Structure 1
Amino acid sequence: MLTAYDFPSSKQAEQAGLDIILVGDSLGMTVLGYESTVQVTLDDMKHHGKAARRGANDTFMVVDMPFGAAGVDEKIDMQHAIELYRETKANALKIEGAHTAPLIKKCTQNGIPVVAHLGLTPQSFGITGYKLQAASKEEAETLIEEAKLVQQSGAVMLVLEAIPSDLAATISRNLSIPVIGIGAGADTDGQVLVYHDVLNYGVDRKPKFVKRYGDFTTGVDALKAYHEEVKAGIFPSPEFTYKKQIMDEVDA
């Protein structure tokens, strides 16, 4: 699984053969320049989900329910889910937190597949902080029960973020649905990383669990070269110029 937030990134993900594309609300920080995911709206997710789908028609795509769109009011939550699922042509929606188990069940009953998300849930960072979750015995036991709950509620998949690797392995073994880890070790059924983290593209942070597979910072050097060539009159040179002679025919 890889996040992708627009047409070119989802197209690259599909060309690379990724199994699942996640249009995550992390686009708030990586694409929109927000401080957190909390500022991301339902309209943002619709916009980016539709763009990502246009770039990857043949890949399973999951779209995040943003902060405030789920877990508040059952009737309104369900309307948000229907709109997001229908308009983005997603294969599933991702919903954070065990408290949304009733919504997961309702979505499932109405034909909307749901990917649950437990552990570090970025929409709740104001309470949990960006740090390792379920690090105590009590918290680990609670997380195990929450994982069982979201599966029982109908979740088709579970994302576990920033939890001890042995706990993630235990949960993966005890669930029948696929478990996707991010900062949860190698013993889950799959992994997810953020496109911009993988390619070092416009990000200033590097979480412990991120491995760089490319370096898009070379784009800055390319832009500097473009700027310098224009200022120096080097670009556009003849090979980048249309050469049709028209002025002989024009009274100027």
Structure 2
Amino acid sequence: MSEPSSPTRPDHYLAALQQSGNVISALTAYDYPTARLLDEAGIDILLVGDSLGMVVLGYQDTVDVTLNDMVRHTGAVARGSKRALIVSDLPAGSYDDAGTAVASGRELMDAGAHCVKLEGGEEVAPQIEALIAAGIPVVGHLGMLPQHVREEGGYKKKGLTEDEAQRIINDAKLLEQLGVCAIVLESVKGNTAGRVREAITIPTIGIGSGEDCDGQIRVTHDLTGMFPWFRPAFAEQYADIATDISKSATNYIDALAKMRP
């Protein structure tokens, strides 16, 4: 576990984590008790991810998550966290242009986020420039972009060809030049993720992108076995909370049945 500076300066905080030599730890959080537990455990970063669309709201993917959803859940996480960096996703449709991105980013920051995350490279450069100019710190997201899963026809590994790998590397360099604090690499081929890390100085945080990143992020529901209906192949599971909940419910039902003769 690292001991970085205050998360109110995300760039300094993330740089300190990177320079510590430890792997940066990040997990998703969507509510007060989870955020508080993870924060007290010493997690470096809490991501209020639009993955809540699937593991909390029951949607098929992240596309239908709204800005109001993200604001509500960001507020809950902020009330539960005292030390971790809180990163909130800008959901699909909330950053279609620079002005909309800034307005959406301010709502998330007002709810308690320390910085916002949005998907894409060169195509969202104007939005990133506007956010940073407005004083809203930004984390980038390259590789597989969940908000585009419908148009891509599924979740697909990225960086498999040299052309695709070079596009990711070029986008990472551009995002660094624009001033993002870190870049999440999702479902990027391992050696491509390593090349990205070598090409930039800001932290890379991987999910399904191998070990050659400065940090790793996972969905807490995968880590704890809270969502048993699907778990990505790369996601470690260290607990089986779903089974414990089911057993608690059946034990409660059995206890109630014994209350009447």
TM-score (norm 2): 0.86
> How many angstroms does 1:127 deviate by?
2.5
- Given that residues 5 and 24 in structure 1 are in contact (C-alpha distance below 8 angstroms), is that contact kept between their aligned partners in structure 2? yes
CA contact (8 A) 2:98 2:131 kept: no
Please tell me the residue identity of whatever aligns with 1:155: V
Gaps of 5+ in 2: 1-25
Match of residue 113 from structure 1? 137
Aligned letter for 2:218? Answer: L
**Secondary structure, counterpart of 1:28 in structure 2:** helix
User: Aligned-pair distance for 1:105?
Assistant: 1.4
Higher RCO structure, 1 or 2 (CA under 8 Å, sep 6+)? 2
Aligned-pair distance for 1:115? Answer: 0.3
Q: Could you tell me which amino acid in structure 2 is paired with residue 95 of structure 1? A: L
> Which residue of the partner structure matches residue 52 of structure 2?
27
Deviation for aligned residue 1:112: 0.8
Q: Please name the residue that 1:222 is paired with.
A: 248
Distance of 2:227 and 2:259 partners within structure 1 = 29
Give the secondary structure class of the aligned counterpart of 2:63.
helix
1:89 to 103, 108, 112: 112
* CA deviation string 1:204-228 (max 9, x = no partner): 1121210101110221011100011
What is the deviation of 1:175? 0.8
- The residue type equivalent to 1:140 in the other structure is A
Residue number in structure 2 paired with 1:11: 36
Residue of 100, 120, 141 corresponding to 2:124? 100
1:5-48 deviation per Cα after TM superposition (whole angstroms, max 9, x unaligned): 00011011101100000000000000011111111000000000
Which consecutive unaligned segments of at least 5 residues does structure 1 have?
235-252
Would the aligned equivalents of 2:188 and 2:208 in 1 still touch at CA under 8 Å?
yes
The answer to whether 1:149 aligns with 2:192 is no
CA radius of gyration, larger in:
1
Verify the 8 A CA contact 2:70 2:88 in the aligned structure 1.
yes
Aligned residue identity for 1:211: E
Report the equivalent of 1:75: 99
When normalised by structure 1's length, the TM-score is 0.89
CA, structure 1 residues 97+203, in 2 after alignment: closer, same or farther (shift >3 Å)?
A: farther
Q: Does 1:40 align with 2:97?
A: no
Percent sequence identity over matched residues? 39
How is 1:147-226 mapped onto 2 (pairs within 5 angstroms)? 147-217=172-242, 218-226=244-252
State the 4+ residue runs in structure 1 displaced beyond 3 angstroms.
none
Q: Is the 8 A contact 1:30 1:203 kept in 2?
A: no
Greater Cα offset, 130-139 or 174-183? 130-139
Match for 1:126: what amino acid? Answer: R
2:241 counterpart SS class: coil
Deviation at 1:153, TM superposition (A): 1.2
Which amino acid is 2:196 matched to?
I
1:170-216 deviation digits (Å, cap 9, x = unpaired)? 10121111100000111100000001000010341121210101110
Taking only aligned residues, the RMSD between alpha carbons, in angstroms, comes to 1.1
